[in-house]
Chains A and B, each alone.
Chain A
Amino acid sequence: MTTNQLLEFRSVTKRYGAKEALGEVSLKIQPGKIIGLLGPNGSGKTTMIKLINGLLQPTAGQVLIYGQRPGIESKRKISYLPERSYLNDWMRVKDILKFFRDFYQDFNLQKAEEMLENLKIDVNDKLKTMSKGTKEKVQLILVMSREADLYLLDEPIGGVDPAAREYILNTIIGNYRPEASVLISTHLIQDVEKICDEVIFLRQGHIELYDAVDQIRTQRGMSIDQLFREVFKC
């Protein structure tokens, strides 16, 4: 059975041995939204993202993309930026571009080349010779150059300097299709809060809050960053 529901968690639990990483999480993600996935270290953000990708299987409950479990079909629709690089260091940017073009039908080569040029990244450079931040930029460009329905970005801007951060966030705004959604996990709340429609606060594997950002600002008179600091005060 397929539905129009882009992404749904139905009472999803994930345990690693005795440790519960997610506890009966239920949520629905609508198309056309940029959603911040926020929470302290170990709150379950990466686990959630890996469950959506099918890299992890839920201990209980279901993760559904268009009503189906993660698989070949969903991978076609989801563009994923992992926390750690999976690209080979010895590759040149232009080789990786070819690789992506061959691998993903929805890869827009022209768009990728344009963005690389804007960030003054030479396609003849090898990943090995690049700084951490430049590598991150390359990967984000690759991921955002797919015309996917759902983008999963796990800590996309952590190693990037503030000036490039702005460009990258702009890249995200400018490149996701209006009917696609973007799920961004990050600690850099201040940087992303302007571009988010909604935020999810995760605390120890449970959803603490899932609301529209302007709603939060209107109701509480504070920024998402401030609210986060208050909710997760140590």
Chain B
Amino acid sequence: MTWRFDENLPIYTQIISQIKQMITSGRYQPGEKLPSVRDMAQEAGVNPNTMQRALSELEREGLLYTVRTSGRFVTVDQQLIEQIRQNQAQERIRELLRQLLLLGFSREQILELVEHTLQSMMEEQDDDKSITGI
């Protein structure tokens, strides 16, 4: 995946949420070793200190851990990863619902719309197996 940043928001919080997403989506597997801070900074095109700050924060949250001599790893705590995945889903759904409610849709209409759209997306995906998510 490519990193994308909105420059109007703090970069380090955006790094945090993007790494979370890489973990919950399985791009980084549980227990996988992460590249060095510098390599990750280079890949994302951000300052190494900013990357370091984001990684430290993720460590505090328990999503990453450091082994003194060998580097930084993704947690093997599946429950924690699942919990964060749920949080991410909640956040996105809330945002979507907030906007739909703002547009004046009723509860029934929203459910129907979501059901309908999901259905057609699934069909498209069956037609085109190349859609792989990230």
Residues of A within 8 A of B (CB): 32-34, 166, 169-170, 173-174, 178, 190, 193-197, 213-214, 217-218, 221-226
Asked if residues A217 and B45 are in contact (CB atoms below 8 Å), the reply is: no
Task: Give the distance in Å from the alpha carbon of A33 to the alpha carbon of B52 in the complex.
Answer: 12
Residues from chain A with a CB closer than 8 A to the CB of B38 are 173-174
Asked if residues A217 and B11 are in contact (CB atoms below 8 Å), the reply is: yes
Asked if residues B8 and A221 are in contact (CB atoms below 8 Å), the reply is: yes
Q: In which size bucket is the chain B interface?
A: 10 to 19
Not counting A173-B42, A195-B46, a sample of 11 additional A-B residue pairs whose C-beta atoms are within 8 angstroms of each other reads A178-B48, A194-B5, A194-B11, A194-B46, A195-B47, A197-B49, A213-B11, A214-B11, A217-B9, A217-B11, A226-B8
Task: Give the distance in Å from the alpha carbon of A166 to the alpha carbon of B43 in the complex.
Answer: 11
22 contacts between A and B (CB under 8 A): A32-B49, A34-B47, A34-B49, A170-B45, A173-B41, A173-B42, A173-B46, A173-B47, A178-B48, A190-B7, A193-B7, A194-B11, A195-B45, A214-B11, A214-B12, A214-B50, A217-B9, A217-B11, A218-B10, A221-B8, A225-B7, A226-B8
Residues from chain A with a CB closer than 8 A to the CB of B46 are 173, 194-195
Using CB atoms, name the residue of chain A closest to B49: A197
The 0/1 profile, CB within 8 Å of A marked 1, for residues 29-71 of chain B is: 0000000001001100111111000000000000000000000
Residues of B within 8 A of A (CB): 5, 7-12, 38, 41-42, 45-50
Asked if residues A166 and B45 are in contact (CB atoms below 8 Å), the reply is: yes
Residues from chain B with a CB closer than 8 A to the CB of A195 are 45-47
Asked if residues A217 and B49 are in contact (CB atoms below 8 Å), the reply is: no
Task: Give the distance in Å from the alpha carbon of A221 to the alpha carbon of B9 in the complex.
Answer: 6
Asked if residues A217 and B48 are in contact (CB atoms below 8 Å), the reply is: no
Asked if residues B10 and A194 are in contact (CB atoms below 8 Å), the reply is: no
Residues from chain A with a CB closer than 8 A to the CB of B9 are 217, 221
Task: Give the distance in Å from the alpha carbon of A199 to the alpha carbon of B95 in the complex.
Answer: 33
Residues from chain B with a CB closer than 8 A to the CB of A218 are 10
Task: Give the distance in Å from the alpha carbon of A226 to the alpha carbon of B6 in the complex.
Answer: 12
Residues from chain A with a CB closer than 8 A to the CB of B49 are 32-34, 197
Asked if residues B7 and A223 are in contact (CB atoms below 8 Å), the reply is: yes
When A and B form their complex, which 10 residue pairs have the shortest distance between CB atoms, in order from nearest?
Answer: A223-B7, A214-B10, A217-B10, A195-B47, A174-B42, A218-B10, A223-B8, A170-B42, A194-B46, A197-B49
